[in-house]
Amino acid sequence: MTKYIAFLRGINVGGKNKVPMPELKILFEQNGFVDVMTYINSGNVIFSSNRFDMEEIKKECEAFIVDKFYFKIPVAIIPGKDLLDALDNAPSWWNKEEDSKHNAIFVIPPITVDEVFKDIGAAKPEYEKVDFYGRVIFWSAPIKTFSRTRWSKVTSSSLYDKLTIRNANTVNKLALLIK
């Protein structure tokens, strides 16, 4: 069995796309996934499966979410080992400085990291640091100058619907849960 993380994009934000986590856990179990657990309300589901086709798993998850909750939610599926590998190879500066925001941006295929960098542009080194490993973009910026960063505008990117963002605390907790 392979451990995966499903990142559901844009649920339980501002009262929109409400998905109760206990119901989501049951839904994954009813669809044949095992060792299912959810973590916080932002749509993080850890599960195991003997299937390896992540695109197939993604499409299935998106379909059963629509069937149950009546709205479409983009889902990113990442093998647990890939998340651990990305964190092992994260830039040395990521999640180190207090009074800074530290985020991991997960790129949802078929979009590539290169396309995201091309769309958003290079980091402004005086305000932020950005690097990537695999399909995870690591981004850090001091809170006091956050609004001056280029990457804070990621939400207005034409590719935003193909990305999902989690803060460092969430990503690190997920890593602990999948070990």
Same domain, yes or no, for 39 and 116?
no
Could you tell me the residue range of the domain that residue 50 belongs to?
2-80
Q: What is the pLDDT of residue 79?
A: 95
Same domain, yes or no, for 133 and 99?
yes
Spatial distance between the Cα atoms of 162 and 28, rounded to a whole number of angstroms: 22
- Number of compact structural domains in the chain: 2
Last residue of a domain, one of 80, 102, 136: 80
CATH code, domain with 11:
3.30.70.1280
Q: What is the pLDDT of residue 161?
A: 84
At how many degrees (to 10) do helices 168-178 and 80-88 cross?
120
Same domain, yes or no, for 69 and 97?
no
Spatial distance between the Cα atoms of 43 and 20, rounded to a whole number of angstroms: 9
- Please give the span between the terminal C-alpha atoms of the chain, in angstroms, as a whole number: 14
Residue numbers in the chain where pLDDT is lower than 50: none
Q: What is the pLDDT of residue 108?
A: 85
Same domain, yes or no, for 106 and 159?
yes
CATH code, domain with 140:
3.30.70.1260
Same domain, yes or no, for 74 and 87?
no
Same domain, yes or no, for 104 and 24?
no
Q: And the tokens for 57?
A: 């798993």
Same domain, yes or no, for 76 and 89?
no
Last residue of a domain, one of 21, 50, 80: 80
Spatial distance between the Cα atoms of 103 and 130, rounded to a whole number of angstroms: 10
Nearest CA to 162 among 113, 124, 127, 128? 113
Same domain, yes or no, for 74 and 161?
no
Same domain, yes or no, for 76 and 8?
yes
pTM of the entire predicted model: 0.90
Last residue of a domain, one of 80, 101, 123: 80
Same domain, yes or no, for 100 and 25?
no
Q: What is the pLDDT of residue 170?
A: 96
Spatial distance between the Cα atoms of 84 and 46, rounded to a whole number of angstroms: 13
Same domain, yes or no, for 131 and 114?
yes
pLDDT tens by residue, 142-178? 999 999 999 998 888 888 888 889 999 999 999 999 9
